[in-house]
């Protein structure tokens, strides 16, 4: 009588800026979509984010950024996921990004970038379409 598998999502804010309203809004939207959202608040290092994602066994990491720190933190997070054999975790970003950075981020494996003005229902729909709860460890 297995329950339906729940999608687990980590919402994290890498870097030094302390504005997490956007992150909290998206966390709430994911909650309302029926997902389990782990929210860690501001000021996270890439190491902390990846360690949390692994301990919590999430399917998706959503990174919220306003400060420009993505140029350092996003590649570092992707590296650390690889080092920990956790590349199966999908990573998306939201916030403010210079247009020219977006292709670069996608090239390192960030699956999608949502800019200000993106509709919450579109983001939720994207997640439903692209991220499936992982399979059981032993069939």
Partner 1 sequence: MSVAQRILAGDVRAVARLLRDIDDQIPSARNILKELYPHTGRAYILGFTGSPGVGKSTLVDQMAMEYRKQGLTVGILAIDPTSPFTGGAILGDRIRMQRHFLDDGVFIRSLATRGHFGGLTKSTHDMITVLDAMGKDIIMVETVGVGQDEVDIANCAHTTVLVTIPGMGDEVQAIKAGIMEIGNIFVVNKADREGSRKTVRELRNLIELGLRRTGDEQWEPPIIETEALKGKGITELMDAVERHRQYLLENDRSQWEAVSQKRAKTQLLETLREEALAELLRRMGKRGQSLDDLVRKVAERQTDPYSVVQDLLQCELR
Q: Out of 18, 72, 83, 84, which residue is the one contacting partner 1 (CB under 8 A)?
A: 84
Identify which of residues 13 and 70 has a Cβ nearer to partner 1 in the complex: 13
Q: Out of 18, 19, 32, 98, which residue is the one contacting partner 1 (CB under 8 A)?
A: 32
Q: Out of 33, 69, 118, 120, which residue is the one contacting partner 1 (CB under 8 A)?
A: 33
79 binds partner 1 (CB under 8 A): no
How far apart CA 138 and CA 121 sit, in angstroms, is 34
16 binds partner 1 (CB under 8 A): no
Chain-centroid distance of CA 1 in Å reads 30
28 binds partner 1 (CB under 8 A): yes
How far apart CA 91 and CA 111 sit, in angstroms, is 6
Nearest to 135 by CA among 1, 2, 38, 36: 2
From 30-38, 61-69, 70-78, 99-107, give the range in contact with partner 1 by CB under 8 A: 30-38
* CB 63, CB 13: distance < 8 Å: yes
87 binds partner 1 (CB under 8 A): no
Q: Out of 27, 77, 110, 113, which residue is the one contacting partner 1 (CB under 8 A)?
A: 27
* CB 131, CB 90: distance < 8 Å: yes
Task: Read off the DSSP letter of residue 125.
Answer: H
Within a 13 Å sphere around the CA of 46, how many CA atoms are in the beta-carbon half?
17
Residues near partner 1 (CB under 8 A) are 1-3, 5-6, 8, 27-28, 30-41, 44, 47-48, 51-52, 54-57, 84-86, 133-134, 136-139
């Amino acid at each position: 009588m297995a329950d339906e598998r729940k999608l687990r999502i980590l919402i994290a804010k890498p870097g030094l800026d302390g504005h997490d309203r956007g992150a909290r809004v998206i966390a709430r939207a994911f909650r309302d979509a029926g997902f389990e959202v782990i929210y860690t608040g501001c000021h996270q290092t890439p190491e902390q984010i990846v360690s949390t994602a692994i301990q919590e066994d999430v399917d998706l990491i959503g990174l919220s950024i306003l400060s420009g720190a993505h140029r350092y933190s996003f590649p570092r997070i992707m590296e650390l996921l690889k080092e920990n054999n956790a590349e199966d975790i999908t990573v998306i970003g939201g916030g403010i990004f210079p247009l020219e950075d977006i292709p670069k981020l996608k090239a390192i494996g960030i699956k999608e970038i949502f800019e200000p003005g993106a509709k919450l229902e579109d983001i939720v729909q994207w997640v439903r379409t692209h991220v499936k709860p992982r399979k059981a460890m032993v069939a």
